[in-house]
Amino acid sequence: MKFWLESFSRPAFEHARQMTAYYSKSFYLSASMLPPEKRWATFAVYGFCRYVDNLIDKPRRRTTDEVLHEVAFLRQELQIAYRTGGSEHPILQPYIVVALRYGIPIEYALDLLNGVEMDVEYSRYPNFDALYLFCYRVAGVVGLMMTHILGYTDAAVFGYAEKLGVAMQLTNILRDVQEDCSMGRIYLPLNELRAFGCSENNIFEARMSPALRELMKFQHERAYSYYEAAEPGIRLLKPDAQYAIYSASRIYRGILKRLKARDFNPFLGRVFVPKHRKMGILMQEILRTKWLAAQARLAI
């Protein structure tokens, strides 16, 4: 029987699917076009990652110590689940089925939990090296997990997958400057704020100064460069998954383009890519992938 339809796991896989649809319409749209097995595996991984992220983003009036206790419990349950092959935790059960089936190392999930702890303990990052570690832990490892599911032809793909995950997290940071500062968080590296002549008050007071515009432009160019660096790796994925990742990359780049169209001002409301544009990108990538596959067959 298909692993997502087995009686013990079916409700949990459906819950993971619903979480994906609710929290990330862009990701859900791309994942829905994957072959069924990879699609449901993707929902399981996303559900787990989103649940972990929500421990911080939706703390439910819990103290810092209580949130960290939740993370510690999840770390212990994760280690037991990897050893025993199952869990009664409703979001961990589908993840562990997929992780063991596709050989996803436990280190990725543990790094994700470490990233969540960073988000509890730090509301500022002194430099880009520190921010990169955070981005790797909360997003780069997600790219590595997904690579195991999607399949690949060359192990070099993992380096590219990390870059794409980091690119997407940097995009989230630029998109959410206003939302994050409302929670007392600033993810822009502090040494770069100073280098561009900005202060934290620029952000907390939502003052779009020329200096902040230059800083945002610099951050925008950095995020874009990570997409460019990651692009060659998509061709190292199995053909039946490439279009989904090309689509996800293009949709996220669309957020950067819309931020640029606002002259890099992060205080004008959250930017997003409209659904019709997402569908257009997805259809274009499906057709492009099929055309490339046909060309490859003709060349043989």
Do 29 and 111 sit in the same domain of this protein?
A: yes
Has residue 299 been placed in a domain?
Answer: no
Rounded to an integer, what distance in angstroms lies between the CA atom of residue 230 and that of residue 165?
A: 9
In the prediction, which pLDDT does 244 show?
86
Number of independent structural domains in the chain: 2
Do 153 and 129 sit in the same domain of this protein?
A: yes
Do 115 and 129 sit in the same domain of this protein?
A: no
Has residue 65 been placed in a domain?
Answer: yes
| Structure tokens, 4 | 């997502």
Boundary of a domain, candidates 121, 136, 155? 121
Has residue 86 been placed in a domain?
Answer: yes
Has residue 267 been placed in a domain?
Answer: yes
Do 98 and 136 sit in the same domain of this protein?
A: no
Structure letter (DSSP) for residue 298: H
Q: What is the pLDDT of residues 121-145, one digit of tens each?
A: 999 999 999 999 999 999 999 999 9
Phi-psi group of 125: left, alpha or beta (phi > 0 → left; psi -120 to 50 → alpha; rest → beta): beta
Boundary of a domain, candidates 121, 139, 161? 121
Has residue 152 been placed in a domain?
Answer: yes
Query: For position 226, which CATH number holds?
Result: 1.10.600.10
Boundary of a domain, candidates 89, 121, 153? 121
User: Could you give the C-alpha distances from 300 to 128, 240, 265, 297, in angstroms and in order?
Assistant: 46, 19, 50, 5
Has residue 2 been placed in a domain?
Answer: no
pLDDT truncated to tens, each residue of the chain (300 aa)?
A: 799 988 888 999 999 999 999 998 878 887 888 899 999 999 999 999 999 999 887 767 888 899 999 999 999 999 999 999 989 999 999 999 999 999 999 999 999 999 999 998 999 999 999 999 999 999 999 999 999 999 999 999 999 999 999 999 999 999 999 999 988 999 999 999 999 999 999 899 999 999 999 999 999 999 999 999 999 999 999 988 898 898 889 989 999 999 999 999 999 988 777 666 666 666 666 666 655 554 455 555
Do 87 and 207 sit in the same domain of this protein?
A: no
Q: What is the pLDDT of residues 65-98, one digit of tens each?
A: 999 999 999 999 999 999 999 899 999 999 999 9
Do 103 and 162 sit in the same domain of this protein?
A: no
Q: Which residue segment(s) compose the domain that 141 sits in? A: 123-294
Do 99 and 157 sit in the same domain of this protein?
A: no
Do 40 and 54 sit in the same domain of this protein?
A: yes
Phi and psi of 207, rounded to 5°?
A: -100, 115
- Where do we find the tokens 């997600």? 142
Do 47 and 140 sit in the same domain of this protein?
A: no
Rounded to an integer, what distance in angstroms lies between the CA atom of residue 13 and that of residue 21?
A: 12
